[in-house]
């Protein structure tokens, strides 16, 4: 198990490993393009090679890539759904060039299509994304926070999507804040055990590739996606200690997506490392 955080690629993707090391990371997550939109920076053998050298130089065990925020495989707007498919596939290929361990994506919202039609469209999109893909970067679906008509906020829905794409071994990114506000309790050792048992029965813990470690500003089942610093939110330190020490997660990396500390006095990477000991 390695612990890290989402880091900047300012100045070029090759700078991400150094940025991660400065934050005390053992692994990290990044965007390879702007999360808000626009053309992706060029990746070529030169900057990809520099990235890989810096991974070794700064002793980073693994790199993960997150797709941009605007992805929506369930959109009723054809341009958005088609571009979402294209960009996710591009990011898988870019991740493979960099040697990234996995790429995770939010799935999207069914607000315009209705649930059944949206699920069918998402499955069709996933099939297009993985068609002919032979890269080394694993493709993960991230558990959603359950607000509005978001897709993927229940273990059952994630399992349905995975089973509908048998041609590829889709994995899962388990976001602790998203799961908690969607109704899966994580506050105690007992609650963590029960939630992971539900995950195992519904999806299979062999599919859980990465944990997004985020405390939550709002309560269990609130469906409000607001991340909080570790131990300052409604999940709490006991919950994260229990996750970090669960035997089924001992080889799963934890990536922080907590908000920046205003004065730098809160170090969530250090906190997770302390809870891991």
Q: Nearest 5°: phi and psi at 144?
A: -95, 170
**Which letter does DSSP use for residue 259 in this model?**
P
- How many other CB atoms are there within 10 angstroms of residue 260's CB atom? 8
Q: What are the extents of the domains in the chain?
A: 3-276
Q: Quick: pLDDT tens for 83-103.
A: 999 999 999 999 999 999 999
Q: What residues form DSSP beta bridges with 18?
A: none
Task: Output the pTM of the full model.
Answer: 0.95
Domain 3-276 carries which CATH code?
Answer: 3.20.20.150
Distance CA 184, CA 198 (A): 9
Q: Is the pLDDT of residue 250 over 90?
A: yes
CB 122 within 8 A of CB 137: no
Q: Quick: pLDDT tens for 103-123.
A: 999 999 987 788 899 999 999
């Amino acid at each position: 198990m390695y612990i890290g955080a989402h880091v900047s690629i300012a100045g070029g993707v090759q700078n991400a490993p150094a940025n991660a090391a400065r934050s005390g990371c053992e692994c990290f997550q990044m965007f390879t393009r702007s999360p808000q939109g626009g053309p992706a920076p060029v990746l070529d053998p030169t900057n990809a090679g520099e990235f890989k050298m810096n991974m070794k130089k700064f002793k980073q065990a693994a790199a993960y890539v997150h797709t941009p925020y605007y992805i929506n495989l369930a959109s009723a707007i054809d341009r958005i759904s088609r571009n979402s498919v294209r960009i996710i596939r591009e990011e898988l290929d870019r991740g493979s060039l960099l040697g990234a361990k996995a790429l995770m994506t939010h799935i999207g919202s069914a607000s315009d299509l209705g649930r059944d039609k949206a699920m069918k469209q998402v499955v069709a999109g996933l099939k297009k994304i993985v068609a002919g893909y032979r890269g080394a970067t694993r493709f993960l679906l991230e558990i959603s926070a359950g607000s509005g008509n978001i897709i993927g906020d229940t273990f059952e829905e994630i399992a349905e999507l995975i089973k509908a794409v048998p041609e590829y071994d889709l994995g899962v990114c388990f976001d602790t804040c998203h799961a908690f506000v969607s109704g899966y309790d994580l506050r105690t050792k007992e609650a963590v055990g029960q939630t992971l048992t539900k995950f195992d029965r519904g999806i299979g813990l062999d599919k859980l590739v990465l944990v997004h470690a985020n405390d939550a500003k709002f309560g269990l089942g609130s469906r409000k996606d607001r991340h909080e610093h570790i131990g300052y939110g409604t999940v709490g330190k006991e919950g994260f200690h229990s996750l970090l020490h669960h035997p089924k997660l001992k080889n799963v990396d934890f990536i922080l997506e907590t908000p920046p500390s205003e004065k730098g006095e809160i170090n969530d990477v250090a906190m997770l490392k302390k809870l891991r000991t």
